[in-house]
Amino acid sequence: MAPSLQEPLLSSYDDEITSAQENGVAHLLPPVTSLDRPLSKVEILESFDHEVSRSLQTDLQTIINTINLYVGVGILSLGYAVRLGGWASMVLQAVLALLLCYSAKLICRSFDRVPPNLVPSYPNLGHTVFGVPGQFAVMLMGGAEFFGALCLCLIVIWQSITMLLPSYPLCLGVYCMIPMEVAILGSTLIMVPAVLIRTFSRLTSLSISGVISSLLLTSVVIIAYAMDPQQKDVADPAAREHEVIDWDHLPMAAGIMIVSLSGHAGVPSLRRSMKNPENFERCISIAFFSIYVIYSTIGGFAYLYFGEATQVLITGNLNDSSSVTGFILLKIGSFTITINQLIIVLVATSAYTTCPALVYVVAELIVDLLRGDSATHIPGAGDLVARTIVLGLAYVVAIVAYDVLDNVESIVGGVCSVSVSLFLPALFYFKLYNKELSSSNRTLVSIVIIVSAAAVFGIGAVSLEITSDPVLTSTVLDL
């Protein structure tokens, strides 16, 4: 029987214990008095859920959600990264994957030093190390990174939808809309329900779709090469040219790879949503290995097939001049589906499935910051409002700054990504454990701090160079 509308949405803890005992699930409630750390908001909520086992992430769900969070539309630029650095950049990518995986683990290990009156979140970790400035630094940089990525994903979705629609206005009665308006409205209808999904475990179905889209995009590149290993269908003769190593452009290649492996602002949310958070380091290792396999495969085959003609986005090569360009997948009368349209759908799907996780993380950063010293928080209407506001602001920013957002994000997003995913994790860990580290570990962490600091300045400089080139900048969002 449905509860009365007059009843409170969240009952007291004592009432929940009584209800749990009556329903035979009292053993699933955590022993609050024996805990040596505060419950995260997800744990508290799920303690009151009669389907606990379905509400927190399993290890496999954590791996899938992590892969989808990191592997977004950035996968399209990995072939270009290999072109910039030559074949040697494939080795560099493996080293960077290990480095970013290690820094993700440093964040989680640092949570052991967060005071028990604080939920183990990234902003609270910053507060533990550097006080309020550290807290706001994490909040601003992590929020800027994910919010910027969210806005760009929305733009990619809109562009993809408009490419599938007819070029003329679409009318319903006397009201007509141009394709971009249709794309914005249509994306809103499918985006709102997705961002209101309560936990990461329930995002898994979307994450699976995103991972499959990335795998299919990779498969298209492999198939294109397999159908034309001699590059006869590639118009640009530069496709037959390959470099072992390009020292001049290797730093830029490294920057693209680092940004594509960044996303550590979401690590705390992923870990706190697990049934067995003690297994997180193993899950992050498997996830990063899988990400490297996907990245190295699509990057390697893209460069193998298109060589020095590899464009900033691999979709440009596939749609313009390749063995699969214009290939008809399905034809029924006058209705046809080509490989070009499939690629557009896969790109849009990859961007769409990443958006809910981005909104989730940004909203959690805000809620954790507003919560202050509170060690507990039960998600409710406030969390849904925060996510709705984040999504609404992203729509406004993406629409208003449509023509310049890629320039701003290339600078802000790159610097923030490296700072949040590489520099701050190593710095925080060093500050918290400096006196306990062995000389070898201290040296390793110090090297990470120095390298990441250099990467922050380097990526900032490279981003400025890219944004000053109108040709290259216009190519970045040309799908």
Nearest Cα residue to 262 out of 467, 424, 115, 137? 424
Q: Are 310 and 79 in contact (CB under 8 A)?
A: yes
Total of domains in the chain: 1
pLDDT of residue 302: 94
For the CA atoms of 436, 95, 216, 58, what is the dihedral angle to 10 degrees? Answer: -10
Domain containing 341 equals 41-467
> Is 118 inside any structural domain?
yes
**DSSP character string of 85-102:** H-THHHHHHHHHHHHHHH
Q: Are 263 and 70 in contact (CB under 8 A)?
A: yes
> Is 264 inside any structural domain?
yes
Residue 172, H or E segment: strand 170-172
List Cα–Cα distances, 113 to 110, 125, 181, in angstroms: 6, 8, 49
Q: How many Å apart are CA 217 and CA 349, to the nearest integer?
A: 11
> Is 2 inside any structural domain?
no
> Is 145 inside any structural domain?
yes
> Is 156 inside any structural domain?
yes
Tokens 């589906």 sit on residue: 337
pLDDT of residue 78: 92
pLDDT of residue 52: 43
> Is 79 inside any structural domain?
yes
pLDDT in tens, 389-399: 999 999 999 88
Q: How would you write the pLDDT of the chain (479 residues) with one tens digit per residue?
A: 444 444 343 444 444 444 444 444 444 444 444 444 444 444 444 444 444 445 688 999 999 999 999 998 888 889 999 999 999 999 999 999 999 999 999 998 998 888 888 777 888 899 899 988 988 888 888 888 889 889 989 999 999 999 888 888 888 777 888 888 889 999 999 999 988 887 777 888 889 999 999 999 999 999 999 999 998 889 889 889 999 999 988 888 888 888 889 889 888 888 888 889 889 999 999 999 999 999 999 999 999 999 999 988 888 889 888 888 888 888 887 788 888 899 999 999 999 999 998 998 898 888 877 766 555 555 566 778 889 999 999 999 988 887 766 665 566 667 888 888 889 999 999 999 988 888 888 898 999 899 888 888 877 666 666 555 544 444 443 43
Nearest Cα residue to 317 out of 82, 153, 154? 82
Q: Are 303 and 183 in contact (CB under 8 A)?
A: no
> Is 13 inside any structural domain?
no
CA 3 to chain centre: 38
pLDDT in tens, 406-454: 665 566 667 888 888 889 999 999 999 988 888 888 898 999 899 888 8
Query: Residue 114 carries which side chain, given as an amino acid letter?
Result: V
| Secondary-structure percent of the chain, ordered helix, strand, coil, rounded to 5 | 75, 5, 25
Q: Which residues pair with 172 in a beta bridge?
A: 175
Nearest Cα residue to 76 out of 445, 346, 462, 448? 346
Strand 335-338 to 175-177 pairing: unpaired
> Is 193 inside any structural domain?
yes
CATH code at position 390: 1.20.1740.10
